[in-house]
Amino acid sequence: MLRLALPLLLLAAPALAAEEPPHTGVAGSRSMPELSDLALFACAAGGVWFVRRRLRARFRAKPKD
């Protein structure tokens, strides 16, 4: 467990040493979704499509005797 703790602390060190906080607390206006929002939606829609397709194929298949 300690072997994992040190690299994680080193990974978080730049965020802890920042002079300015990463979030100012002031909300900005958004004119359109971010690219990450669109990518997340596309991955979710692809996952739903894939699972539905696999389940339909599973229940459509003839039972093996």
pLDDT digits (tens, 9 = 90+) for 8-55: 767 766 665 666 666 777 888 889 999 999 999 999 999 999 999 999
For residues 9, 12, 15, 17, the Cα torsion angle rounded to the nearest 10 degrees is 20
pLDDT of 65 reads 63
Question: Which of 28, 48, 45 lies closest to 37 in space, CA to CA?
Answer: 45
User: Is this model's pTM higher than 0.85 or not?
Assistant: no
Collapsing DSSP states into helix, strand and coil, what is residue 64?
A: coil
pLDDT of 48 reads 97
Rounded to 5°, angle at Cα 39 from 55 and 56: 10
The CA-atom distances, in angstroms, between 34 and each of 16, 20, 43, 45, 55 are: 26, 24, 15, 17, 32
pLDDT of 44 reads 97
For residue 1, name the pLDDT band (cuts at 50, 70, 90). Answer: low
